């Protein structure tokens, strides 16, 4: 699920993750739009995340944080959405930052393991939490 707040919730009773619709509240830290994603990021749920990212960009926000710390499963469709989000942000001269646990795979971050196994982890600026991601002085975690 993707939402802009800190709470849980979703758009269905399947137990899968999902992204909030265009009217979903979004948390902004200065100029950053923060989208929290939890549950599964897969063939079923990734289109909603893609739409949420596009909706944020359509409102004129070109600095996006995807908080993936609550994602328990990510397949190739989810990775494709992350790469597409990166491409979109680069095309509009924007910025995309991901939040994954600081210890990466050691903390059980499934997404970090998948990105590393596919060799695309290095494409993303990864931070341990929202505070670090929206802090202009903070540096990304090493790949």
Structural domains of the chain sorted by starting position, each given as residue range(s) with its CATH number in brackets: 25-134 (3.30.750.24)
Mean pLDDT by 10 residues, the chain (143 residues): 42 34 45 93 96 96 94 94 97 95 60 91 93 90 75
The pTM of the full predicted model, rounded to 2 decimals, is: 0.77
pLDDT at 1: 53
pLDDT at 6: 36
> Where are the alpha helices (H) located in the chain, listed in sequence order?
46-58, 76-91, 110-118, 130-134
The residues near 66 (Cβ < 8 Å, ≥ 6 apart) are 2, 35, 37, 49, 53, 82, 85, 96, 97, 98, 99
Quick one: CA dihedral 63, 137, 6, 28, positive or negative?
negative
């Amino acid at each position: 699920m993707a939402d802009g707040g800190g709470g849980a919730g979703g758009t269905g009773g399947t137990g899968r993750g999902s992204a909030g619709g265009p009217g979903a509240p979004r948390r902004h830290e200065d100029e950053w739009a923060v989208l929290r994603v939890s549950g599964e990021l897969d063939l079923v749920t990734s289109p909603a995340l893609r739409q949420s990212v596009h909706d944020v960009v359509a409102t004129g926000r070109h600095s996006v944080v995807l908080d993936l710390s609550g994602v328990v499963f990510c397949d190739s469709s989810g990775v494709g959405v992350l790469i597409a989000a990166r491409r979109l942000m680069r095309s509009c001269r924007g910025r995309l930052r991901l939040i994954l646990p600081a210890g990466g795979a050691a903390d059980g971050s499934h997404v970090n393991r998948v990105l590393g196994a596919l060799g695309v982890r290095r494409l993303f600026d990864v931070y341990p939490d929202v505070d670090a991601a929206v802090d202009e002085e903070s540096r990304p975690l090493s790949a």
